[in-house]
């Protein structure tokens, strides 16, 4: 088997006592691109954040494994070391820490002491990746996400994805707030990652992104659960008909969990 | 009934001490007069910090360290602060009140620059020292600690830069307290005469732990005469057992500039006052300080810039990080006196707390008695944002390293702006040590 496997089993997640996820089951393998779609407020972003270990989310039930190792037992940094990556919807701004120092620390955190990436190699790789993502070179020396526009933040998330080369990446609304040109650039970066050692979970409520990044599997989330799964044709149908037919099929009136996703 | 604090040192002791050092008569008189005042004057009252239980008055006063035969004999912790590759050192090292090493380049000597220990300065340049010593800068009778200092002063340096002389290379003084319990009453005077400029950098270093109690009482007076510029840098790094009172004061005449770059990295209880009097028209005072508090130390930092001269400019920038159970108060005060029109006062104080037991307070204060001025202030006190840590850790960075990055990032805006390269480098090292 090539690549890693992320298994999410019957995951229940609460925030401040309110249950948001109510039993999510999902398995992502190396080489696969999954899309999780659904209207706002159905729990998509909660799924992304909870798997990475966001401090506000409490796991009330269920299990998460990466290559058989218990993810929920791990600290956030250990989850990253195990191969997980989360491209965040709202990345933090960190004053005084340059983008490039941060990236180098992140890369070196995965390497043994004494085996740190050489500065030359790092700069070369960073330059090349920034070119591909059509990023301004001075962004390397700017403070991490500080004063970045929405589009710059998203590109910066993808820059990190490409430099860190995780086994499994979760992309949380990487398309939100992007114009069509930026969307194409970001998609180009993500597509470049595609190989049998890389699995990806794309969270979006627009089908638009999937025109550029073809998913192998598509899941629909409502009321904190995955209510329907299928192939790329499912995304196509959602684009044409919206979500109402699924709600009708399942007898759902309000698809939200009473909490913005 | 009032409780009398016995200072433990009497007239006879002070007389003997002064005579033993062959001090000029004026100094002996000043000491004895100050001793009398110390008995009756109250302790200073730093805003929002209670110091009545701090030990400022129990100590061993007269201890003398040994001379150094070579810089190579310095312990490693001190070596970090010295650039040993320099051919010509403008370096002064004081080891437990004794001059251990002193060197000034021939070219500076030829230009009339004085950079020597206070005792030698008093004997060789008595009039010059008398002109500045606790006259227009710090007064003897401000409170008990200034008076006590004047009575028991036992170390320090005197720097004088004559008119029109530009000192390009920094002058560096290291005050090294090797004996864990030796008290230091250090007095530093830096005088930049008209149209001159100088960069002076000092380090206070000791390694005493919490049980090894010591007292440090430091007074520093900086004078920048017309159109002179003084860049004053410091990295203080006294041990956990040392209780410190440090008062650094500047007086700037017409068109003069005083820039302070203070890395206040003591591990013990510290009261720090950094005042700048902008006496002359168009003078400038710039006070930058960073601090990292740890353990259960309590600290109080007050930076005050007082504008008397027209069109004078005062800038205060304070950033502090508090770890563990450390507490610190940052007061940034801009005072514009009546008549100092067209002046500008700016203050910024920021505190970052790393644990739930750490405490910090930032108080920017503007006191303005003149209409035609500009002023501004900003302050923030906050804890590390858990979202920042989550973000950094989600890239594989450990919590410790993530905190380190956030701290460096928080201090960077000040450290980056420090005008003296040597201070920037020393400070980065000390921050690194205190953060880990």
Closest CA of chain A from B333, distance in Å: 26
**CB A220 within 8 Å of CB A204:** no
ipTM: 0.95
**Using an 8 Å Cβ cutoff, are B165 and B85 in contact?**
no
CB contact under 8 A, B396 and A106: yes
Inter-chain touch A80–B394, beta carbons under 8 Å: yes
To test the contact with chain A by mutation, choose from B385, B396, B413, B435 the residue with the greatest count of A C-beta atoms within 10 A, namely: B396
In this predicted structure, what is the pLDDT of residue A1? 52
- d(CA B351, CA B361) in angstroms, rounded, equals 7
pLDDT band at A257 (very low <50, low <70, confident <90, very high): confident
How many other β-carbons are positioned within 10 Å of the β-carbon of residue A118?
8
Name residues 348-387 of chain B within 8 A of A (Cβ). 385-387
Of the pLDDT bands very low, low, confident and very high (cuts 50, 70, 90), residue B82 is: confident
Mean pLDDT of B412-417: 84
Mean pLDDT computed over B386-394: 95
Write out pLDDT tens, residues A36-78: 999 888 999 999 999 999 999 999 999 999 999 999 999 999 9
Q: Tell me, what's the pLDDT at A255?
A: 85
> With contact defined as beta carbons under 8 Å apart, do A155 and A135 qualify?
yes
Residue A240 backbone phi and psi in degrees, to 5: -80, -40
Share of chain A above pLDDT 90, in %: 84
Instruction: Give the contacts of A118 (CB within 8 A, at least 6 positions apart).
Output: none
Closest residue on chain B to A89 (Cα) = B391
Q: Are B49 and B269 in contact (CB under 8 A)?
A: no
Among A92, A160, A164, beta carbon nearest to B388: A92
Q: Given pLDDT bands bounded at 50, 70 and 90, which one contains residue B4?
A: very low
Picking from A48, A84, A97, A106 by the largest number of B CB atoms within 10 A of its own CB, the best residue to mutate is A97
Residue B387: its chain A contacts at CB < 8 A?
A: 55, 92
- Per 3-state DSSP, what percentage of chain A is helix, strand, and coil (rounded to 5)? 35, 30, 35
Q: Among residues of chain B, what percentage have pLDDT more than 70? A: 98
B102-123 pLDDT, tens per residue?
A: 999 999 999 999 999 999 999 9
What is the rounded distance in angstroms from the CA atom of residue B307 to the CA atom of residue B192?
A: 20
Q: Please tell me if residue B417 touches chain A, with a CB cutoff of 8 Å.
A: no
**Which tens digits make up the pLDDT trace of A78-128?**
999 999 999 999 999 999 999 999 999 999 998 888 899 999 999 999 999
pLDDT in tens, B173-209: 999 999 888 899 999 999 999 999 999 999 999 999 9
- pLDDT surpassing 80 at residue B84: no
Of B391, B405, B412, nearest to A105 by CB-CB distance is: B405
Contacts of B402 in chain A (CB under 8 A): 77
* pLDDT band, very low/low/confident/very high, at B48 (cuts 50, 70, 90): confident
pLDDT at B1 over 50: no
CA distance B251 to B146: 17
- Could you tell me the sign of the dihedral formed by the alpha carbons of A158, A164, A167, A170, in that order? negative
For residues A202-210, average pLDDT? 89
The token pair at B339 is 């008549």
Q: Closest Cα of chain B to A55: distance in Å?
A: 7
CB contact under 8 A, A105 and B410: no
* Contact between chains at B412 and A96 (C-beta distance less than 8 A): yes
Smallest CA–CA distance, residue A165 to chain B, in Å, is 11
pLDDT at B3: 37
Burial tier of B387 (Cβ tally within 10 Å: 0-12, 13-18, 19+): middle
Contacts of B412 in chain A (CB under 8 A): 95-97
Q: Is the pLDDT of residue B166 over 90?
A: yes
| 3-state SS string for A117-157 | CCHHHHHHHHHHHHHHCCCCHHHHCCEECCCCCHHHHHHHH
Least Cα distance to B133 among B21, B27, B20, B28 occurs for: B27
Check CB contact of A74 with chain B, cutoff 8 Å: no
B289-313 confidence digits (pLDDT tens):
999 999 999 999 999 999 999 999 9
Nearest-CA residue of chain A relative to B387?
A92
Which tens digits make up the pLDDT trace of B90-102?
999 999 988 999 9
For B401, nearest residue in chain A (alpha carbons): A105
pLDDT per position as a tens digit, A222-243: 999 999 999 999 999 998 898 9
């Amino acid at each position: 088997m090539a690549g890693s496997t992320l298994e999410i089993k019957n995951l229940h997640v609460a925030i401040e006592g309110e249950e948001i996820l109510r039993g999510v089951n999902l398995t992502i393998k190396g080489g696969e691109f999954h899309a999780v779609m659904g209207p706002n407020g159905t729990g998509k972003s909660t799924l992304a954040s909870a798997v990475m270990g966001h401090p506000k989310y409490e796991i009330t039930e269920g299990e998460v494994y990466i290559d058989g190792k218990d993810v929920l037992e791990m600290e956030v940094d250990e989850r990253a070391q195990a191969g997980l990556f989360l491209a965040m919807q709202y990345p933090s701004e960190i004053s005084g820490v340059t983008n490039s120092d941060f990236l180098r620390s992140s890369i070196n955190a995965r390497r043994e002491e004494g085996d740190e990436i050489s500065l030359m190699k790092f700069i070369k790789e960073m330059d090349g990746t920034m070119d591909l993502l059509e990023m301004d070179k001075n962004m390397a020396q700017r403070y991490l996400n500080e004063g970045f526009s929405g589009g710059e933040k998203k590109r910066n998330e993808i820059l990190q994805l490409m430099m860190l080369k995780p086994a499994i990446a979760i992309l949380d609304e990487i398309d939100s707030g992007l114009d069509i040109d930026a969307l194409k650039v970001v998609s180009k970066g993500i597509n470049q990652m595609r190989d049998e050692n890389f699995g990806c979970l794309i969270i979006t409520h627009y089908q638009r992104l999937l025109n550029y990044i073809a998913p192998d599997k598509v899941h629909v989330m409502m009321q904190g659960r995955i209510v329907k799964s299928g192939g790329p044709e499912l995304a196509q149908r959602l684009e044409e008909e919206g979500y109402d037919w699924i709600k009708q099929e399942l007898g759902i009136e309000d698809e939200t969990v009473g909490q913005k996703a | 009934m009032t409780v009398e604090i016995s200072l433990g040192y009497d007239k006879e002791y002070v007389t003997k001490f002064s005579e033993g050092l062959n001090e000029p008569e004026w100094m002996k008189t000043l000491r004895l007069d100050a001793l009398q005042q110390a008995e009756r004057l109250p302790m200073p009252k730093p805003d929002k910090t209670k110091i009545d239980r701090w030990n400022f008055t129990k100590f061993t006063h007269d201890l003398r360290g040994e001379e150094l035969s070579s810089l190579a004999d310095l312990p490693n912790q001190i070596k970090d602060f010295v650039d040993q590759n320099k051919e010509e050192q403008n370096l002064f090292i004081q080891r437990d009140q004794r001059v251990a090493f002193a060197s000034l380049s021939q070219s500076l000597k030829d230009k009339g620059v004085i950079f020597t220990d206070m005792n030698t300065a008093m004997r060789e340049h008595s009039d010059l020292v008398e002109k500045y010593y606790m006259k227009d800068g710090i007064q003897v009778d401000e409170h008990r600690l200034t008076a006590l200092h004047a009575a028991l002063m036992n170390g320090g340096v005197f720097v004088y830069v004559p008119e029109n002389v530009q000192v390009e290379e920094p002058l560096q003084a290291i005050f090294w307290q090797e004996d864990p319990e030796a008290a230091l009453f250090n007095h530093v005077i830096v005088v930049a005469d008209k149209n001159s400029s100088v960069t002076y950098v000092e380090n206070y270093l000791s390694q005493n732990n919490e049980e090894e109690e010591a007292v440090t009482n430091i007074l520093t007076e900086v004078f920048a005469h017309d159109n002179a510029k003084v860049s004053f840098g410091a990295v203080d790094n006294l041990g956990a057992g040392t209780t410190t009172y440090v008062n650094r004061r500047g007086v700037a005449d017409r068109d003069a500039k005083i820039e302070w770059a203070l890395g206040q990295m003591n591990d013990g209880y510290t009261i720090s006052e950094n005042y700048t009097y902008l006496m002359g028209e168009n003078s400038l005072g710039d006070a930058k300080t960073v601090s990292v508090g740890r353990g259960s130390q309590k600290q109080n930092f007050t930076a005050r810039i007082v504008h008397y001269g027209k069109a004078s400019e005062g800038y205060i920038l304070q950033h502090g990080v508090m770890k563990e159970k450390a507490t610190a108060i940052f007061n940034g005060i801009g005072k514009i006196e009546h008549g100092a029109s067209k002046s500008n006062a700016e203050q910024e104080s920021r505190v970052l707390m790393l644990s739930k037991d750490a405490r910090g307070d930032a108080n920017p204060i503007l006191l303005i008695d003149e209409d035609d001025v500009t002023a501004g202030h900003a302050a923030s006190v906050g804890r590390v944002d858990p979202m920042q840590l989550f973000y950094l850790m989600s890239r594989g960075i450990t919590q410790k390293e993530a905190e380190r990055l956030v701290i460096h990032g928080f201090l960077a805006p000040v450290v980056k702006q420090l005008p003296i390269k040597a201070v920037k480098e020393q400070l980065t090292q000390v921050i690194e040590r205190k953060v880990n």
